[in-house]
Structure 1
């Protein structure tokens, strides 16, 4: 399928809309492909689908999402004023970055996916690609809702009323937030459709598209968050079975192979923003004041993956104190524009290890063996654990070593471990004195525009 790229003008239009965001139904799809777009056949449906894929590589999802969630955790620090509230876990309801990126970005993805589902579903054709396009769009819609749920919803409690505002069709009026259970039900239903009717994963190709394997991988992750540990372990094991495979060289994965790596299951094809300052993941990490935290640098000291630490112009002369993020130090095709890794096979290993350790009747040796298989692949020796508590701690540390400073996964793991009673929030991060700040506030602009139909999260 050919991807249609847009100019910077479209992105600036989106950001202007996001800055004025009042409620999510008013988000216009990229490329102006939405209600006014005529879909008369499969090629025009493909064009509409390209607009949905664009959301995976725009400013909000591919760059700002990873930076701000990483700042909330333990692996990243920033010299930028806009990052201080995230580092200190004191984000306010009026924070512009929530409104512009963290809330608007996933809903932009959802909105464009809904137009694809609606208009492609209305086609009177027998082409099997019709079902496949809808399945891909439903995968993207599930991904968007999942991001909203784990950032803004009480995802750890299926009985909570603080789920997401579900958008399962275009042009829906503003509606109250659904329960966490209903939010999970929609996400899992969409992923099941993608598993059934999505495209096959193809080795040696660009990994920027929804596939059956990607749907299984994200579903395993969703089930882990939902605490369906048996289901998560089963699916993660299926994903581990292939055809994706762990990269042989950790540094080359990020600096050479990128979205062509067969370890990558879903990525953005390229970071899409292009302007005079060279905006991109490479620019933000190397030049714009985002650094690996001293804690994370110390954690990497004896790990073979420390090769991701590279110098940048703000780093001190002492090479032991370099803070640059080498995962994004080399842009795609020699540019400043880089990809976002939404899911790598390594994460399936870690999901399996945790789910197997947590599930009733789980075999701890199986979980440990999979954890060590990943470690050995990364050039490390195996670890041992005396009990479940120690094993879970090792798994969380391994996720930091493996996924740190990519997409903020250490933050989401921290929230889950806190809610499971594995760690005390203020012990692991002093700024987490208020347990109510484990999710972000809904933007006040959206709440006001909804006439307070949308409920704010407790504690804000």
Structure 2
């Protein structure tokens, strides 16, 4: 008897998430062979498969990797038993054999392949009776997630900071079975592919969604601003980030007044542009933040940004940036020791949402892009918005010298986002490449530019003869 539902395919692949997935490059082989006949046959079945694409962001391979990136940058430190393979991230000496590396690589291609399968089925008209607008919306939602996963792979494994580089990533725009070989695209081609998906989504994704664990046109536009910032296209990044900020309220997104409320509300927060749905005993994601704590670097930064501050006091918050204090003071740190993850890992109630993109980050993207474009007042306005939310005085940003503005934006963005989605590492790499920060300004173990890009995992190289490793 044929397997008729792609949901079985997705469930089978996602069930592998509880353990390491070591195998060929895009080794996402299901326990049951997927049959394409009648997999999607009406609107309801299409929506069910789409939910499976969203669910892929919660797999162990993807969700468990986020703490590694903050350890890599030095904004958090390992504690207790640490993370499997985490020592190499502590010392910035990551090897191709690292199991966490293999996990996130294959987990990212699982999202891409799940999206590609549904795109194919929708484009060929399998969802009988589905209005054309909804068909386009479902395809657009898949393309947003495909773009995000490719962008994640490019930032982890590609020379994302060099548009002239040949060291991009393997691009996948069709379903694959795990045996196809393909060479790396250039960095420029990788970005072009990502932007093409996002432009389609800006035109065709839902204008609004009731729940923020679903993506919209606004999500796609916000991701595009972020991608353009990484490309060094600062004028366009500033423009699009400004459009997102100006239109956010009309589309159901707004900054939380209270920083801690973002994480208490999780995916229900008005600030969320895209986050994982997590609730109850089954809808969970592995965050592993209980195995991390703050680093001396971040502690010093949180202490030093306040004018006239001396050694901070975690018991009272005196002398510390409030975002740092909220995360790590004993009263609000919660069961996992981190206020951004306020709920226990097990239980029947709310669970910790993993923030993939939120509006606060877009304000920092706008501030940085505007500053690099020489638009000082625009940069300071967005920067002050975020500083004010964190409890800084209304004239804080106005008093910063122009020559230190970019570095101040960097520092505040670290404290805003660290321990969320790895932005602290990617910002560090970008700032270093722009000659705004020293190579070992954060960690003494970062000594060579080759350490700024993760190596492809051995499993990827073994399964794809055309894939070339990053230079050592």
- Provide the TM-score with structure 2 as the length reference: 0.85
CA contact (8 A) 2:58 2:285 kept: no
Secondary structure of 2:340's counterpart equals helix
CA contact (8 A) 1:33 1:48 kept: no
Q: How does 1:194-233 map to 2 (within 5 A)?
A: 194-202=201-209, 205-233=210-238
2:171 is matched with which residue? Answer: 166
CA contact (8 A) 2:272 2:357 kept: yes
Q: Is residue 2:60 matched to residue 1:59?
A: yes
CA deviation digits over 1:100-135, x for unaligned, max 9? Answer: 2x2112111101000011011111655321111001
Whole-Å separation in 2 of the counterparts to 1:30 and 1:347: 39
CA deviation digits over 1:375-411, x for unaligned, max 9? Answer: 1122212233322x41110010010111111112111
1:443 and 1:272, CA in 2 relative to 1: closer, same or farther beyond 3 A? Answer: farther
CA deviation digits over 1:142-189, x for unaligned, max 9? Answer: 001000000000011111110010001112721100000110011000
CA contact (8 A) 1:142 1:191 kept: yes
1:445 and 1:271, CA in 2 relative to 1: closer, same or farther beyond 3 A? Answer: farther
1:177 and 1:7, CA in 2 relative to 1: closer, same or farther beyond 3 A? Answer: closer
- Equivalent pairs, count: 433
Which of 222, 245, 265 matches 2:254?
Answer: 245
Secondary structure of 2:356's counterpart equals strand
2:343 is matched with which residue? Answer: 330
2:41 is matched with which residue? Answer: 40
How large is the Cα RMSD of the aligned pairs?
2.9
Which of 96, 103, 108 matches 1:106?
Answer: 108
CA deviation digits over 1:312-334, x for unaligned, max 9? Answer: 9x99xxxxxx9931110225986
Whole-Å separation in 2 of the counterparts to 1:19 and 1:349: 37
1:31 and 1:106, CA in 2 relative to 1: closer, same or farther beyond 3 A? Answer: farther
CA contact (8 A) 1:200 1:213 kept: yes
CA contact (8 A) 1:292 1:325 kept: no
CA contact (8 A) 2:432 2:439 kept: yes
Whole-Å separation in 2 of the counterparts to 1:32 and 1:414: 43
1:295 and 1:227, CA in 2 relative to 1: closer, same or farther beyond 3 A? Answer: same
2:198 is matched with which residue? Answer: 191
1:89 and 1:95, CA in 2 relative to 1: closer, same or farther beyond 3 A? Answer: same
CA contact (8 A) 1:5 1:54 kept: no
Between 117-126 and 423-432, report the one with greater CA deviation.
Answer: 117-126
Q: How does 1:267-416 map to 2 (within 5 A)?
A: 267-270=275-278, 280-281=286-287, 284-286=288-290, 289-301=291-303, 302-305=320-323, 306-311=325-330, 324-331=337-344, 335=349, 337-359=351-373, 362-381=374-393, 382-383=396-397, 384-387=399-402, 389-416=403-430
1:446 is matched with which residue? Answer: 460
Whole-Å separation in 2 of the counterparts to 1:141 and 1:444: 23
Whole-Å separation in 2 of the counterparts to 1:32 and 1:443: 26
- Provide the TM-score with structure 1 as the length reference: 0.87
Whole-Å separation in 2 of the counterparts to 1:96 and 1:32: 26
CA deviation digits over 1:262-306, x for unaligned, max 9? Answer: 11111001179859xx9743xx223xx211213223333421222
Whole-Å separation in 2 of the counterparts to 1:5 and 1:308: 39
